[in-house]
Amino acid sequence: MTVISAAQYRRRMSRSVPESEHDARSGGLVVRGVTKRFTSGRGSTVALSDINLTVDRGQFVTLIGPSGCGKSTLLRILAGLTDADEGDVSIFGESITRAREAKHIGLVPQSPALLPWRTVLENVELPLQLNRRAGRTPSDNADPREILAAFGLSHVLDKRPDQLSGGMQQRVAIARAFAFRPAVLLMDEPFSALDELTREVLRHELVDLWQQFRTTVVFVTHSVAEAVLLSDVVVVMSASPGRIGTTIPVGLGRPRAELVELSDEFRAVETDVRIALREGWRHGAS
C-alpha cells in the first residue's frame, strides 16, 4: 500500500470528483414550507412550522436554537428519516428519496454508532459494502485507508471502538460519513458528548477538512462559539413551534485565521447570535 499524507489526499480528492457527481452537486439544498407535527394521546404538537431555507453548494450552515426548537427533527427530514407533513425538500435538484438512493446524503449522529465487533477500518468500510447497489463505482468513493489517514487515524486501523477515546471514535464516525463522498453531510451535534478541549481540537480539524473538501454541510449545535467558528451562515431557530428566526452571515473569511476566536470580528458575530437567541426565547415564552 502506498502511504500518502493528509494534504496529498485532499489535493487528490479535490481533483477527482467523477463527472457523474457534478450534476448531482449543482444547485443547492432547498427547504420550502416544511411543517412537521407529532401526535400523541395528549393531542398534536407542531414541531416545525413553515421552514424555508436554502443552503448553497459548498456552504457550511449551522442550525442553533434552544432544546425543542426542531433542529434535529429538521435534520432527520433532510436525511429522509422522517417525512414532513407539509412542504418539500430538494437536495441539489433531487428529491430526498432519489438523493438517498444515490447515496448523496451523509449523516453523522450525536453518538458515533460504531459496531463494537468491527475494527476502525471495517467500520469505515461498512457503508461501502452495504451500498454496492447505489449505482456508484469504486472510483466514486474515497479509499477508507486514505481518508482515515487524513483524520490522523492510520495507527488505529485494527483497533476496535472500545480501545479508542471518545474523540477518536467521533473521528472514525466522520471518516465513515466522508468515505462515500456525499454531496451533502448532515451533522447532528457530533461533539456534544466530548470534553471542551477535545471539542476544540475536533472543531479545528473539521474546519481544516471542510476547507479542503468544500462539502455542503448542515450542522446542528447548542454552542454559539462552535457555530461561529465552523460556519458560513448561522441559522437561529426558536421554539413553540420550531421556526427560523434569524439567518446570520458569519463573514470571517476562509481559511479561518489562527486564534480567530479571540478577534473582535468573531466576538461581534457571537454577540449577534446570542441576541438572536434571546429574542427567540422571549418569543417562545410569550
What CATH number is attached to the domain comprising 203?
3.40.50.300
**What are the pLDDT digits (tens) for 86-135?**
999 999 999 999 998 888 899 999 999 999 999 999 999 988 887 664 55
What span, in angstroms and rounded, lies between the C-alpha atoms of 32 and 56?
Answer: 14
Asked, as a colleague might, if the bond just before 241 is cis with ω within 30 of 0, I would say yes
Is this model's pTM higher than 0.95 or not?
no
Do 64 and 156 have their domain in common? no
Give how far Cα 124 sits from Cα of 10, 94, 139, 170, 185, Å. Answer: 18, 26, 16, 12, 16
End residue of a domain, out of 166, 181, 196: 181
In a domain, 1, yes or no: no
Q: Are 171 and 208 contained in the same domain?
A: no
The domain of 78 spans 22-104+184-286
Alpha-carbon separation of residue 21 from 71, 141, 203, 277 (angstroms) = 28, 11, 27, 37
State which residues of the chain have pLDDT below 70. 1-27, 131-141, 283-286
Domain contains 59: yes
How much is the pLDDT for 25?
44
What is the pLDDT at residue 135?
54
Residue ending a domain, choose from 161, 181, 201: 181
151-160: pLDDT as tens digits: 889 999 999 9
pLDDT number for residue 9? 40
Cα maximum dimension of the chain: 62
- List alpha helices for 162-232, DSSP H: 166-179, 196-213, 224-230
